[in-house]
């Protein structure tokens, strides 16, 4: 079964076609890459999937269900969560509280139970705390749990954003340039971690990155966008050898 299908997906801003007639499938359980030069339309595709932007034309199917133009909270509720190209965290909260607040999105006790601190509520609260700590542990952030998010080094803020996205129990995780601002060592570590996360949580991952070589090491399939249009799709090997892709990236005829 496909996890996500983009069917003739199109987004026009004024006169600008940011995404034009894109057909693409993300297979369940895969790590799939989305690459392309600056302004190619990559982030716009994520914004369309997550309901941040309204689709001009075409459809988005999630596990065969039409989710086109659903509100962002509904898309998240169905199991699609994301990180942002520009990190979005509660900058003044601790690392731990950033993740704990995200864990609470799935809590099912009500306000009265919370005020009365009923046993059921306390039990659930303990479960969410354990979950938050476990996620921090997996993301290598447990020893910084009391640090204010804003004071974390940039690379770790990106990891924290992923921990927050995982707290929402996604089936499909969308990562928008998760390695941006990291040094080469951190980048490689992050890619390994993403592969681990996929296995551990049985996720499907759709990941945007600029660095072709970097995501080629982690993806099973990928799509290349250029000026909003699909330029190529295939395995990393196929993409690497595709003259159109080389030309788009290097601006020279291959
Ligand atoms: N809200 C918007 N209003 C108008 N134009 C927009 C909007 N969002 C994106 N665009 C335009 O759509 C095009 C694609 O932008 P997008 O951010 O999707 O590219 P990208 O591939 O993510 O680029 P980058 O690699 O720089 O992140 C760009 O020309 C951009 O200026
Ligand atoms: Mg972008």
pLDDT band at 18 (very low <50, low <70, confident <90, very high): very high
Spatial distance between the Cα atoms of 217 and 198, rounded to a whole number of angstroms: 14
- Atom in ligand 1 nearest the alpha carbon of residue 45: 18
Q: For residue 82, count other CB atoms closer than 10 A to its CB.
A: 24
Please check the confidence at residue 252 and state whether its pLDDT lies above 80.
no
% of the chain exceeding 70 in pLDDT: 98
pLDDT in tens, 22-36: 999 999 999 999 999
Spatial distance between the Cα atoms of 136 and 107, rounded to a whole number of angstroms: 18
Predicted local distance difference test score (pLDDT) of residue 211: 78
pLDDT in tens, 134-150: 999 999 999 999 999 99
| Superfamily of structural domain 1-79+170-254 | P-loop containing nucleotide triphosphate hydrolases (3.40.50.300)
| Higher pLDDT, residue 206 or 214 | 206
Beta strands (DSSP E) in 69-140 are 80-82
pLDDT in tens, 211-226: 778 888 899 999 999 9
Task: For residue 109, report the distance from its CA to the centre of ligand 2, in Å.
Answer: 37
User: Is residue 145 helix, strand or coil?
Assistant: coil
Q: How many helices (H) and strands (E) does the chain have?
A: 10, 10
The pTM score is: 0.93
* Pocket test residue of 11, 15, 36, 41 for ligand 1, highest count of atoms within 8 A of CB: 41
Task: For residue 86, report the distance from its CA to the centre of ligand 1, in Å.
Answer: 13
pLDDT band at 251 (very low <50, low <70, confident <90, very high): low
Distance set, CA 107 to CA 16, 76, 103, 127, 227 (Å)? 42, 15, 7, 10, 42
Q: What is the residue whose two structure tokens read 């059921």? A: 120
Predicted local distance difference test score (pLDDT) of residue 107: 73
- As a residue count, the chain comes to 254
Predicted local distance difference test score (pLDDT) of residue 254: 44
Say how many Å lie between the first and final Cα of the chain, rounded.
36
Q: Could you give the residue ranges of the DSSP H alpha helices within 117-208?
A: 119-138, 154-167, 184-201
Sign of CA dihedral 98, 201, 76, 227: positive
Task: For residue 121, report the distance from its CA to the centre of ligand 2, in Å.
Answer: 40
39 lines ligand 1 (CB under 6 A): yes
41 lines ligand 1 (CB under 6 A): yes
pLDDT in tens, 55-82: 999 999 999 999 999 999 999 999 999 9
Task: For residue 43, report the distance from its CA to the centre of ligand 1, in Å.
Answer: 7
20 lines ligand 1 (CB under 6 A): no
Predicted local distance difference test score (pLDDT) of residue 250: 65
pLDDT in tens, 169-198: 999 999 999 998 888 899 999 999 999 999
Helices 184-201/154-167 angle, 10° precision: 10
Q: Which ligand is nearest to the CA of 44?
A: 1
Q: For the chain, which residues make up each domain, given as ranges? A: 1-79+170-254, 94-169
Task: For residue 137, report the distance from its CA to the centre of ligand 1, in Å.
Answer: 34
């Amino acid at each position: 079964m496909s996890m996500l299908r983009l069917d003739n997906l199109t987004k026009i801003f004024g006169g600008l076609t940011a995404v034009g007639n894109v057909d693409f499938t993300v297979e369940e359980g895969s790590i799939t890459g989305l690459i392309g030069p600056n302004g190619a339309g990559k982030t716009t595709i994520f914004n369309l999937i997550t309901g941040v932007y309204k689709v001009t034309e075409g459809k988005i199917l999630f596990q065969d269900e039409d989710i086109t133009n659903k509100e962002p909270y509904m898309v998240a509720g169905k199991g699609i969560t994301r990180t942002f190209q520009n990190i979005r965290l509660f900058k003044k909260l601790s690392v731990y509280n950033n993740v704990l607040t995200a864990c609470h999105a799935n809590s099912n006790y009500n306000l009265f139970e919370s005020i009365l601190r009923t046993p059921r509520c306390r039990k659930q609260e303990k479960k969410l705390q354990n979950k938050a700590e476990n996620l921090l542990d997996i993301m290598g952030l447990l020893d910084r749990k009391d640090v204010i998010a804003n004071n974390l080094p940039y690379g770790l803020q990106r990891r924290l954003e992923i921990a927050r996205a995982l707290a929402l129990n996604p089936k499909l995780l969308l990562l928008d340039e998760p390695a941006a601002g990291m040094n080469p060592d951190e980048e490689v570590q992050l890619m390994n971690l993403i592969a681990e996360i996929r296995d551990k949580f049985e996720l499907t991952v759709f990941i945007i990155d600029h660095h072709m070589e970097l995501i080629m090491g982690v993806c099973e399939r990928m799509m290349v966008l250029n000026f909003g249009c699909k330029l190529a799709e295939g395995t990393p090997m196929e993409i690497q050898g595709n003259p159109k892709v080389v030309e788009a990236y290097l601006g020279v005829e291959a």
